[in-house]
């Protein structure tokens, strides 16, 4: 089996961690290819909840080699904090590999993330404040600091001084903040060099060799399609390529090596941060989804905005990512309703749009056109085959499958690791 990508189909938090965890035991490597500690995977194993932000969720699967690819941005404090926490709970993290080319989130980029957001006022993105955007901006303007720079003191100093030469002007003159001392930043970064050194590798070479040897690689996307810097609801997006295309770049493998693309979609929709969200509910139903689905951010604790399933959004995700299989998560959260509305198209100024409008203004003004599907009352958390589901729940899944036009291979019916129905094998 070649490489398999797991990508979010909506605005993140779809339960990718669970899908990765499910496929993980069949994989030899699990690679995080984009984003940083803005992500939040919650995985429940034997009643224990693990919230991961930076580490790939494959870290929890014995025998799997977890890899942080070159497309990721790394906050070293967070890295070691997560490693220490897992070690304290008896999880072995010694197999972790980190790309020498991954960029580092320096402390000044966290500062800049926060001050820029404040400066944007009403136009705020609602970032996680973890320094993600400014670090990717540095990468693109070629003033970033990479993991490999930690091992060359003179280069590290030059690069930090170079980056701060501009930023200090900005901080002092525009944002009215104190200048940052390059020597202090260098000292902060150097303090981590020795500990990170044994984890650092040419991960692109290793992954390609592994594929040549017939190994299975899972490429785990952070954030999601609608937060992708190119294909999401720009500018209300993250700063990396979260889509399947970004998996090849962010891991250092050729696109032709990707055999399957699994999109994870919630049975309803959520979003954190600002930006358009056509099916958002501002009423009791939204509250009910939030409470039943525990929709609070893993990274920031912010309440997530909640709404009904949006077919054009997931169909768009299927197209942009070349999705072969969908993992539909949290179906159990919809239990207990007479009807479950599903958005099938939008009305924009009196015109029907069956597909996601290309114009951002149209997405802002899109009014969902709903089809009301039958709901179900019975508890479905114990269902392990399609036949265990009430007829209406089965019909809900089949209708989404037909409308999106991509097979739904996995259905999540509860938070536990085994609370899934496998409708089609992904790995064979």
Catalytic site residues?
13, 41
CB of 395 to ligand IMP, least distance (A): 29
List of residues contacting ligand IMP (CB under 6 A)? 11-13, 38-40, 125-128, 130, 132-133, 222-223, 227, 236, 238-239, 272-273
CB of 241 to ligand IMP, least distance (A): 12
CB of 166 to ligand IMP, least distance (A): 20
CB of 297 to ligand IMP, least distance (A): 7
CB of 271 to ligand IMP, least distance (A): 7
Q: Which is nearer to ligand IMP, 148 or 360 (CB)?
A: 360
What pairing do the DSSP bridges indicate for beta strands 97-99 and 103-104?
unpaired
Q: Which is nearer to ligand IMP, 73 or 196 (CB)?
A: 73
CB of 411 to ligand IMP, least distance (A): 21
CB of 152 to ligand IMP, least distance (A): 29
Q: Which is nearer to ligand IMP, 128 or 225 (CB)?
A: 128
CB of 276 to ligand IMP, least distance (A): 11
3-state secondary structure the chain: CCEEEEEECCCCCCCHHHHHHHHHHHCCEEEECCECCCCCEEEEECCEEEEECCCCHHHHCCCCEEEECCCEEECHHHHHHHHHHHHHCCCCCCCCEEECCCEECCHHHHHHHHHHHHHHHHHCCCCCCCCHHHHHHHHHCCCCCEHHHHHCHHHHHHHHHHHHHHHHHHHHHHCCCCCCCHHHHHHHHHHHHHHHHHHEECHHHHHHHHHHCCCCEEEECCCCHHHCCCCCCCCCCCCCCCCHHHHHHHHCCCHHHEEEEEEEEECCEEECCCCCCCCECCCHHHHHHHHHCCCECCCCCCECEEECEEHHHHHHHHHHHCCCEEEEECHHHHCCCCEEEEEEEEEECCEEECCCCCCHHHHHHCEEEEEEEECCCCCCCCCCCHHHCCHHHHHHHHHHHHHHCCCEEEEECCCCCCCEEECCCCCC
CB 269 within 8 A of CB 10: yes
Q: Is 102 exposed, middle or buried (0-12, 13-18, 19+ CB in 10 A)?
A: buried
Q: Which is nearer to ligand IMP, 28 or 75 (CB)?
A: 75
Q: Which is nearer to ligand IMP, 151 or 175 (CB)?
A: 175
CB 78 within 8 A of CB 109: no
Q: Which is nearer to ligand IMP, 40 or 66 (CB)?
A: 40
CB 380 within 8 A of CB 391: no
Round to whole Å and give the CA distance between 271 and 254.
31
Q: Which residue is nearest to ligand IMP (CB)?
A: 273
Round to whole Å and give the CA distance between 41 and 48.
13
Q: Which is nearer to ligand IMP, 159 or 266 (CB)?
A: 266
Q: Which is nearer to ligand IMP, 109 or 399 (CB)?
A: 109
């Amino acid at each position: 089996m070649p490489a398999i990508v797991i990508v979010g189909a909506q605005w993140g938090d779809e339960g990718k961690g669970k899908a990765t965890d499910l496929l993980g035991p069949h994989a030899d490597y699990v690679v995080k290819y984009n984003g940083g500690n803005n992500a939040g995977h919650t995985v429940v194993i034997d009643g224990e909840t693990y919230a991961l932000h930076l580490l790939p969720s494959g870290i929890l699967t014995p025998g799997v080699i977890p890899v942080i690819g070159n497309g990721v941005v790394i906050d070293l404090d967070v890295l070691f904090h997560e490693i220490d926490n897992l070690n304290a709970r008896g999880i072995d993290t010694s197999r972790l590999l980190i790309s020498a080319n991954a960029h580092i989130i320096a402390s000044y980029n966290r500062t800049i993330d926060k001050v820029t957001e404040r400066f944007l006022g009403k136009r705020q993105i609602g970032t996680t404040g973890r320094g993600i955007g400014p670090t990717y901006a540095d990468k693109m303007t070629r003033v970033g600091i990479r993991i490999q720079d930690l091992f060359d003191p003179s280069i590290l100093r030059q690069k930090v001084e170079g980056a701060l030469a501009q930023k200090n002007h900005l901080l002092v003159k525009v944002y009215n903040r104190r200048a940052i001392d390059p020597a202090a930043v260098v000292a902060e970064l150097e303090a981590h060099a020795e500990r990170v050194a044994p984890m650092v590798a040419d991960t692109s070479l290793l992954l390609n060799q592994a594929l040549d040897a017939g190994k299975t690689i899972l490429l785990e996307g952070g954030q999601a399609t609608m937060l992708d810097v190119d294909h999401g609801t720009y500018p209300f997006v993250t700063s990396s390529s979260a889509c399947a295309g970004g998996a090849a770049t962010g891991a250092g493998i050729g696109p032709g090596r990707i055999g399957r693309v699994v999109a994870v979609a919630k049975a309803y929709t959520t979003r954190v941060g600002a930006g358009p969200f056509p099916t958002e509910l501002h009423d009791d139903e939204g509250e009910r989804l939030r409470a039943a689905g525990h929709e609070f951010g893993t990274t920031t604790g912010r309440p997530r905005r909640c709404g009904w399933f949006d077919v054009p959004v997931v169909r768009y995700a299927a197209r942009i990512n070349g999705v072969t299989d969908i993992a539909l998560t949290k179906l159990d959260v919809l239990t207990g309703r007479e009807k479950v509305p599903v958005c099938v198209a939008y009305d924009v100024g009196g015109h029907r749009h069956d597909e996601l409008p290309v114009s951002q203004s149209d997405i802002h003004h899109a009014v969902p056109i709903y089809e009301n599907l039958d709901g179900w009352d019975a508890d479905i958390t114990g269902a392990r085959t399609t036949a265990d589901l009430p007829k209406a729940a089965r019909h809900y899944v089949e209708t989404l499958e037909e409308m999106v036009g991509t097979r739904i291979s996995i259905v999540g019916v509860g938070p536990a690791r085994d609370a899934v129905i496998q409708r089609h094998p992904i790995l064979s």
